[in-house]
Amino acid sequence: MPAISIRNLQKSFPAFTLKNVSFDVQKGTIMGFIGENGAGKSTTIKCILNVLKKDSGLIKIFGYDHTKEEMQIKEEIGVVYDDLPFPETLTGSEIEKFMSRLYKNWDEPLFYQLLKQFKINPAKKVKELSRGMKMKLSIAIALAHHPKLLILDEPTSGLDPIVRDEILDLFLHFMEEEEHTILFSSHITSDLEKIADSITFIHEGEIVFSESKDVLLYEYAIWKGSQQELKDLPEDAIVRMRQGIYGVEALVRKNRIHSIFPTTRPTIEELMVFLTKGDI
């Protein structure tokens, strides 16, 4: 049973619509959720959490309907947004007292253990913390009630590479428990290449693909050459093309071209660019 299962999710706004979004997040895995700004990542997450009411579709978390069993489900979910959603005048200790009233499984010793590990002074106000420290505090809050599922909405955005790497290690440590699962929304695709098991790509409110990361990175390749050399490629191998300054780049299926054609392995970011901006 998937940790998250979404079928035909639709949500409409005057200028944007989620269109029949469907994907599964398997238990014990990290799914990277990618897409450009405004593609629908945060809207999808808000619908999963029932912060936004969906127009139609089905969302199940651990096999339960996300609205009918909402309180039970949220005991098992930790959420980290791109900013700490608490008044800046509160301290870590004051936030702890508030959160302890919300969760049955809130673990006060674990919360303070995490703050000590992260070198966060619980007496400091939120406004006195750096962005990296705020994010670590947010992670401590998310972990302190022993969730089985973490939902992360751009948690590493705006952080320097050293802090980002430290936070990725925290998520990998969380995944040492086999039953734990992460849905990780990010536009920093290099972070997802490090830790994700699968990738779901949303573009203009629609899912472009939802696939194992290894399958994506090994199924596709990038070929570069001239317009003349392009004619030698099998037509059914070419997925998308882009005209560059020095010639043509093509996203190709590796199993449909001969090894004599030199290719490079694509990054997730390159896949995004080809599939949204490349010519068919």
Region label for 48, one of left (φ > 0), alpha (ψ between -120 and 50) or beta (otherwise): alpha
Alpha helices for 13-107 (secondary structure H): 41-48, 70-74, 92-100
Q: Cβ–Cβ contacts within 10 Å for residue 30, how many?
A: 25
pLDDT in tens, 112-164: 999 999 999 999 999 999 999 999 999 999 999 999 999 999 988 888 899 89
Judge whether residue 280 has pLDDT over 80. Answer: no
pLDDT at position 47, please? 97
Question: What strands lie across the sheet with 56-61, from one edge to the other?
Answer: 17-25, 4-12, 56-61, 64-65
* 63-72, 191-200, 252-261, range with the lowest pLDDT: 252-261
Tens digits of per-residue pLDDT, 259-272?
A: 788 899 999 999 99
Dig out the tokens for 184 from the structure.
Answer: 């990780």
- As given in the structure block, the two tokens for residue 247 are 């010639």
pLDDT digits (tens, 9 = 90+) for 78-126: 999 988 889 999 999 999 999 999 999 999 999 999 999 999 999 999 9
pLDDT band with cut points at 50, 70 and 90 for residue 187: confident
Q: What is the pLDDT of residues 222-257, one digit of tens each?
A: 999 888 888 888 888 999 999 877 889 999 998 888
| Percent of the chain topping pLDDT 90 | 74
Q: Please tell me the predicted confidence (pLDDT) of residue 171.
A: 95
Read off the pLDDT of each residue in 204-208 and give the average, rounded to a whole number. Answer: 95
Confidence (pTM): 0.92
Q: How far apart are CA 195 and CA 192, in angstroms?
A: 5
131: enclosing H helix or E strand: helix 131-143
Please check whether residue 241 is in contact with residue 278, taking contact to mean a CB–CB distance below 8 angstroms.
yes
**Dihedral, CA of residue 85, residue 86, residue 88 and residue 89, to nearest 10:** 180
The pLDDT value given to residue 27: 96
Cross-strand pairs, 182: 30, 150
8 A C-beta contact, residue 201 and residue 221:
no
Q: What is the rounded distance in angstroms from the CA atom of residue 80 to the CA atom of residue 67?
A: 20
Supply the pLDDT for residue 232. 87
Above 90 in pLDDT, residue 197? yes
Kind plus residue range of the DSSP H or E element containing 171: helix 161-174
User: How does pLDDT run across 41-50, given as a tens digit for each residue?
Assistant: 999 999 999 9
Q: Identity (one letter) of the amino acid at 42?
A: S
Q: Which of 172, 177, 183, 157 is nearest to 77 (CA)?
A: 183
Interatomic CA distance for residues 174 and 172, integer angstroms: 5
Average pLDDT over residues 44-58: 96
